Each structure stands twice: as structure tokens, then as C-alpha cells.
Structure 1
Amino acid sequence: MNKNLLGIDFEDWFHPELVQKYISKENHEPKIINGIEKILELLRKKESNATFFVVGELLEFKPELFDIILENGHEIAFHTMKHDRIDSLNFQNIFETEIRKFHSLTNGKSRGFRAPSFSLNQKSSWLIDVLENNNYTYDSSIVPAKTSLYGMPDAEIKPYTITSNSLEKNSNGKITEFPILVTKFLGKTIPAGGGFYLRTLPMKIITNAIKNYEKKNIPSTFYIHSWELTPEFMPKIKMSKKDDFITYHNLGKAFDKMDSLLDEFEFTSFENFSK
């Protein structure tokens, strides 16, 4: 059976970009971290490993998250310190400090990175050099499809090596890129690798997308947010109709859909896959 990759974007209710638009910047009480045991129990039951792409400030708030994740056989990776878009103004000036901070919070165990909101693009390609310089070995920030929020439609669909000068095509870099699963739908390439798409697309489309990759011997890279697996801890924020739909649509169905995917397919962490 082919191994696929599962990344859990471990962030709290106030981190998603669309939520941030509607709330103040001051300190917020983390709630989603209280669902960690539920997530671990799901993975335990399915005998699956995952990579937790953790927003660093949650480790500052609750340092034992680090041990809990590792002791259960999972991998810890970096999702920035506060879930800022990496292509935002001045982010380049603080990222070096952030990556060092995360290094100390995780005893240098982190080797992988994912950009919040998949915000790796030509404007933020400098980040790949910083990852290289800090002994990172992989990234998973590229969606090979165009959406209104992100995407690089010309990127490879299978894992490839990436450099700051070549984000979309295989190059002789040190960082391996694991692009998110995509599929064809009504003649158009769309993301199928988790999040909103897991909640919105019929399961048949997602399972066929994974099977299609398996036939080509390509691992499917899948992602799900911690708040999608623990909607009971996700407060309802007043938002515009569109933002509300993207954030909350079918939120109650994400756990069961992930549960059935873990039954049907084999998933592992990025670290285990690369061994």
C-alpha cells in the first residue's frame, strides 16, 4: 500500500487568516489546544503518524505540547510563531528570529515548514534560503492549483527539490517540496488535499484523487487544521458571508471524513516518509 503524508496544521481559533480580520490583535486565550488528546486518539486508533505543523506561540503558552506530540510518535514542524503570512510586509525581517525561537522551543527537532495560508510565492521565495541555512530539509507550502487565496498552477504535483529561484520546477536544492494533493474537477485543477476542500468536496472526489496519485506512485500530501478536528472548541465569529462559508462550512463533518480517509488509506509523517 502506498504511503501518503498527513500534516496537521496545529493552530488555535484566533490564528486563521480570515478570522484575524475580525478580531483585535491583543492576547487571546487558546482553546483548540484542549483538543490535542482527541486528535492523538484518532491517530492512535488508526495506527497513523502525522506531522504537527505547530504555531510557535502555542508551545510558549503550553510547552508540554512538544513532549505530548513526540511521545505519541509524531513529528513536530514549524508553522511560524504567530501564523503570519510569510509574504506580509516586513515579515522577512522577523523570520530569522522566529525560526531560532522555534529551534529553542523544540530542541532543534524541527526539520519541516509550512507557510500559513500557503503564502509561499515569488514575493516570499527568500524563505527557502533561510530554511536551508537553518538545516531544514523540507517544505510543504505549495498548492499546484490556482485559488482566490493562493496557489501555483504550474508547480509539480510530486515531491521535488526547491530553491528560492525555482519554486515550481525541480532544481538541485537542499529542500524537498511536498506539494498538496490536487485533482481535476469539471476540467479544472482544484485542491483536494484537505481543509476547506475536505469539508466541501464529495468524498468520492477526494478518494479518487488519492487513488489516482497511487496509480502514478506519487504520495498524496494531505492537511487538516486542528480546529477542524475539534470544532467543539472553535468559537463562532461574526464574519462576512463568504469568509463565514470558507471557515465554518461543514465544520462538523471534517472529523468523520478524516476518520474514513484514515481507514481507507495509509498516512504517515513527513519524517517517516523520508526515512
Structure 2
Amino acid sequence: MNAGRDAIQGRSVPRGFPDGTPVNALSFDVEDYFQVSAMAPYVPRAAWDRMERRVAANTHRILDLLAEHGAHATFFVLGWVAEREPGLVRRIAAEGHEVASHGWSHERVGALGPGAFRDEVRRSKALLEDLSGTAVIGYRAPSFSLDAGEPWAVPILAEAGYRYSSSLHPIRHDHYGDPHAPRFPFPRGHGLLEVPVSTVEVGGRRLPCGGGGFFRLAPYRYTRWALRRIHAEGRPAVFYLHPWELDPAQPRPRGLDRRTRVRHYLNLRRTEARLERLLRDFVWDRIDRVVALPAGALAHAC
């Protein structure tokens, strides 16, 4: 009861070990390299089935790493991927990881509109539950696109049976983000808890430290320092990566602009080694076990 009350008040409650070791939330957005929003001008959706799929092999490698380090994570699986790689979803669930939804088509929430959004979150949830044999209660919007501009999406998620969203990156960015959003989990209404990706504040400025391209671009020591700073605030970190970020051999579509090339491909060769260091330096678990969910959510997940 206390955990549920704390969550409703916006307080994230970390699950710890007897020695006080912080337990952080690790997550992966299971999509392929050609499905990234920045690739949309170069690889239209109509061409997706003609592209070389690499997401299964890359995700299997991540699962191997997690098994080696005794860690668990949340996998936000795109419905398009789950439909074509059902064995991957089954393995994720069988090894004790959380299966959650990343929508179906990797279209931004605002671009979908209420009707298509409702169809996508219901369709993906149903497929993932069928494949995994577990309740799907978590959702992450493609490109962190569930911001203040789409208030209609929150009741749709709640009605579909989701209990938390991890769809906000509370920073200023040209593709996504809300720099005014809370840094730590907070209630979005309708019984839905929002779990933002981690950031730190330094000198009044908010800095990203929760993974993705920032993990590849910044030195590893910055991430380690930032996560420890979050722990000093009494909070667990919320971190994410994509399977394609461990794949330096992935194809490169023609005609990419310079910004996309830099953001997508820089330091891909370093990501796997950095992830291994992260798994050694910190303790990681699923979002649904690290963050206290609203009252009733944990019972729904069992």
C-alpha cells in the first residue's frame, strides 16, 4: 500500500538489496536500424519488408550479455518486429525479462491520431501477450513522442490496460523531449505512471544521461558519474538502448544527411563494450520491478 501511495505522489521507489545497493531500470527499444525516425526520409515504410532484418540477432546478443551478468531488463518490442520474430519475444519472456509495447508501426503518437493510436496499442499488446504468455503493462512511444501535445493518448493507454508509460525524455532536443517535464516518475492521470528516461541537473541545466545516442557520443565516465549522481538523489536510474546500437556492421542507406550519419553511426563499435561495463558497474532490473507502480498494477502484472 505504501509503495502505491508513493507512486501516486510521484515518488519513485527503488528496489534495493540488503546492503543498500541501488537497483536501476534497464530497457531496450526493440526496433531495427531502418525503423529509426531519422531514417524515415530514406527508408519508407513500404520498403521495410525488403530490408535486411538484423534486430533478432542483435537482441539475442543483448540477451546473452544480460544472462552472463545476471541482469534483467524491460524490452519495448515493436509490433511489426514481434509479428516477424515471434521466437525472439518468447525468449525475452522465458528468460525473465519484461515484455512491453513500443507500438506497432513506429509512427509518432501525434502523427497517428486517436483512432490509429488506439488500434496500435491494442494490437501490439494483444500480440505480445499471446507470444509471451505474460501481461503487458508498459508502453514506450516511438521517439519519446507522448508529450504534453497529446493528452488524449493517456486515457487510451489506460483503457487498453497499460499501467505505466516510459515515453518522455525530459530534455530539449530537436526530435523529441520536454525540458519542463518532471525528471522522475510521476502520475499522468487515469492510473498511468510516467517513467522518464534519466537526466541530471548541473548548474541549473538539465543534461541527458539515460542512454541512446548520448551513451555512444559521451565518454563512458560521464555516464558512470551521472548515474551515481542520480543515486545521491535517492533515485534509481532509468536507462535505454536499441539493439542496432550494438551493430557496427549494419547497412547504410544511401543519401543520408550528415547529421543523421553522425547521430546514428558514430561509436557503434564501442557500444557493446560500454554496455558490458555498465552491467559490471551497476545493478539492473526490469522497469516494473524497479519503479513502484500505481495501486493495482503489480497485481495486474502477476
Q: What TM-score comes out, normalization by structure 1 length?
A: 0.90
Residue by residue over 1:120-160, the C-alpha shift from the partner in whole angstroms, topping out at 9 and shown as x without a partner, is 12222221111111121111111121112111112211211
2:210–2:237 contact (8 Å) kept in structure 1:
yes
Aligned to 1:106: 128
2:60–2:88 contact (8 Å) kept in structure 1:
no
Aligned to 1:35: 58
2:170–2:179 contact (8 Å) kept in structure 1:
yes
Aligned to 1:269: 286
CA distance in 1, matches of 2:204, 2:95: 41
Deviates more, 1:114-123 or 1:45-54: 114-123
CA distance in 2, matches of 1:251, 1:42: 17
CA distance in 2, matches of 1:177, 1:2: 20
CA RMSD of aligned residues (A): 1.7
Deviates more, 1:97-106 or 1:71-80: 97-106
Q: SS state of the match for residue 124, structure 1?
A: coil
Deviates more, 1:183-192 or 1:62-71: 183-192
2:78–2:124 contact (8 Å) kept in structure 1:
no
Residue by residue over 1:55-114, the C-alpha shift from the partner in whole angstroms, topping out at 9 and shown as x without a partner, is 1011111222221110111011111101111111x4322121112212321226210011
Aligned to 1:229: 246
Residue by residue over 1:224-264, the C-alpha shift from the partner in whole angstroms, topping out at 9 and shown as x without a partner, is 001112333x2112310011111111111111111101110
Question: Aligned letter for 1:121?
Answer: D
1:32–1:230 contact (8 Å) kept in structure 2:
no
CA distance in 1, matches of 2:58, 2:258: 27
Q: CA deviation at 1:214?
A: 0.6
Residue by residue over 1:165-221, the C-alpha shift from the partner in whole angstroms, topping out at 9 and shown as x without a partner, is xxxxxxxx4111111111246863221110110001112221111111111111111
CA distance in 2, matches of 1:148, 1:49: 31
Where in structure 1 are there 5+ consecutive unaligned residues? 164-172
CA distance in 1, matches of 2:244, 2:151: 28
Aligned to 1:141: 167
CA distance in 1, matches of 2:74, 2:37: 21
Q: SS state of the match for residue 95, structure 1?
A: helix
Relative distance call for 1:186 and 1:228 in structure 2 (3 A) is: farther
Aligned to 2:198: 181
Aligned to 1:249: 266
The one of 9, 26, 31 equivalent to 2:29 is 9
Q: SS state of the match for residue 105, structure 2?
A: coil
- The total of aligned residue pairs comes to 264
1:146–1:153 contact (8 Å) kept in structure 2:
yes
2:73–2:286 contact (8 Å) kept in structure 1:
yes
Q: SS state of the match for residue 213, structure 1?
A: helix
CA distance in 2, matches of 1:175, 1:182: 21
2:71–2:283 contact (8 Å) kept in structure 1:
yes
1:195–1:223 contact (8 Å) kept in structure 2:
yes
Question: Aligned letter for 1:23?
Answer: V
2:186–2:195 contact (8 Å) kept in structure 1:
yes
Identity in percent: 29
2:247–2:268 contact (8 Å) kept in structure 1:
no
1:38–1:230 contact (8 Å) kept in structure 2:
no
CA distance in 1, matches of 2:90, 2:273: 27
CA distance in 1, matches of 2:56, 2:89: 12
1:180–1:222 contact (8 Å) kept in structure 2:
yes
CA distance in 2, matches of 1:37, 1:245: 26
Aligned to 2:71: 48
> Is residue 219 of structure 1 aligned with residue 236 of structure 2?
yes
The one of 204, 225, 240 equivalent to 1:208 is 225
